[in-house]
Amino acid sequence: MIEGPRLPWLDATIVGITPITHRVKSFRLAVTFDRPAVAGQHVEIRLTAPDGYRAQRSYSIASAPSRDGTIELMVEGLPKGEVSGFFDGVAEVGDTLELRGPIGGAFVWRPEDGGPLLLVGGGSGVVPLLAMLRHRAAAAPHIPALLIYSVRAADEVLVQDELVRRAETEPGFDLMLNLTGDGGRRIDAALIGEALERLGAPRHTFICGANPFVGAASDLLVEAGLDPRTIRTERFGG
């Protein structure tokens, strides 16, 4: 039953780097997994110093599952972050890193899981949700989906152009962007109520972000009457 092949460490070469906000960069990595990926999963990245010292961290896959032999990651450079700082300041196109995955079997969505799909992302927590949205658009555009995306400031929104374009051109996809900084508000019962009215009762809900965000959002959704068993959460830390 659970005997399976080992999840091997693979070499992944950086084939593209694109800044997407002042803190977050997108990395396209050439890597071929030995098993199919599912939207929402992550990889482990392992960096090795010349003396053999290693650091290992998890990053969500932003790209939809595909067979083109690449994945996209989006890494927020933290001021003194050991691994995110490497991505932010050192990594270049042509570099090879070690990676293993795809990992995760709970925070995942497949087209056959159906919808409506409610996605709630805080900050860089939107990354695995983006993979779900991209996959939905390509494989199951008939499934209704709504993304509540909460960030501090407008210049911290990841791939705003893509999200706005999707909301404008994809029937059945709805975007609620929420700014919490200056004059904005944290997500609250009223906002959740509006989302549920626009989407209808979700069959699956995915919430991702920092600890306090995920805790607050899941409490609000349970209070709004959603069945806790239909809600999946992922926390990046903090």
Partner 1 sequence: MSTRGFTGRRPPETTRVRLPPGQSLTEDFPVLQIGPNPRIDLDTWRFTLRAGSRPLKSWSWAEFGALPRTRWSGDIHCVTQWSKFDTAWEGVSVDDLLADAGVDAPTAFALAEGYDDYTTNVPFADLTDGRAMVATHYDGAPITSDHGGPARLLVPHLYFWKSAKWLKGLRFTQKDEGGFWEMRGYHMYGDPWREQRFTGD
Ligand X SMILES: Cc1cc2nc3c(=O)[nH]c(=O)nc-3n(C[C@H](O)[C@H](O)[C@H](O)COP(=O)(O)OP(=O)(O)OC[C@H]3O[C@@H](n4cnc5c(N)ncnc54)[C@H](O)[C@@H]3O)c2cc1C
Gap between the Cα atoms of 177 and 152, Å rounded:
11
Count of C-beta atoms within a 10 Å radius of residue 207: 26
Q: Which residue is nearest to ligand X (CB)?
A: 81
Query: 84-113: which residues touch ligand X (CB under 6 A)?
Result: 84-85
Q: How many angstroms from the chain centroid is the CA of residue 189? A: 23
- Position of tokens 């409506």? 116
Using the rule CB under 8 A, is 22 a contact of partner 1? Answer: no
- Contact range with ligand X by CB under 6 A, out of 69-77, 92-100, 155-163, 222-230: 69-77
Residue type, 60: S
Nearer to ligand X, 73 or 148 (CB): 73
Position among 63, 124, 205, 233 found at the interface with ligand X (CB under 6 A): 124
Report the SS3 class of residue 133: helix
State the minimum distance, in angstroms, from the CB of residue 184 to ligand X: 22
40: exposed, middle or buried (Cβ count in 10 Å: 0-12, 13-18, 19+): buried
Kindly tell me which residue out of 110, 186, 203, 235 binds partner 1, with binding defined by CB under 8 A. 235
User: Residue 110 interacts with partner 1 (CB under 8 A)?
Assistant: no
Residues making up the chain, counted from first to last: 238
Q: Could you give the strand order of the β-sheet that contains 24-30, starting from the edge strand earlier in sequence?
A: 54-60, 42-48, 96-103, 10-19, 24-30, 70-76
Decide whether 44 or 170 has the Cβ nearer to partner 1.
44
98 part of the interface to partner 1, by CB under 8 A: yes
Query: How far apart, in whole angstroms, are the C-alpha atoms of residue 131 and residue 110?
Result: 11
* 237 is a contact residue toward ligand X (CB under 6 A): yes
How many residues belong to the site for ligand X (CB under 6 A)? 20
Q: Which of 21, 186, 17, 10 is nearest to 101 (CA)?
A: 10
Per-residue binding string, ligand X, 43-62, x by CB under 6 A, is --------------xxxx--
User: Which range touches partner 1 (CB under 8 A), out of 16-24, 113-121, 141-149, 228-236?
Assistant: 228-236
Report the distance separating Cα 43 and Cα 99, nearest Å. Answer: 7
From the list partner 1, ligand X, none, partner contacted by residue 74 (C-beta under 5 to 8 A by kind): ligand X
Tell me the helix, strand and coil percentages in the chain, rounded to 5.
30, 35, 40
Least distance CB 158 / ligand X (angstroms): 10
- By CB under 8 A, name the binding residues for partner 1: 1-7, 44, 46-50, 52-58, 80, 82, 86, 90-92, 95-98, 103-107, 211, 214-215, 218-219, 221-222, 228-229, 231-233, 235, 237-238
- By CB under 6 A, name the binding residues for ligand X: 42, 57-60, 74-76, 78, 81-85, 124, 127, 234, 236-238
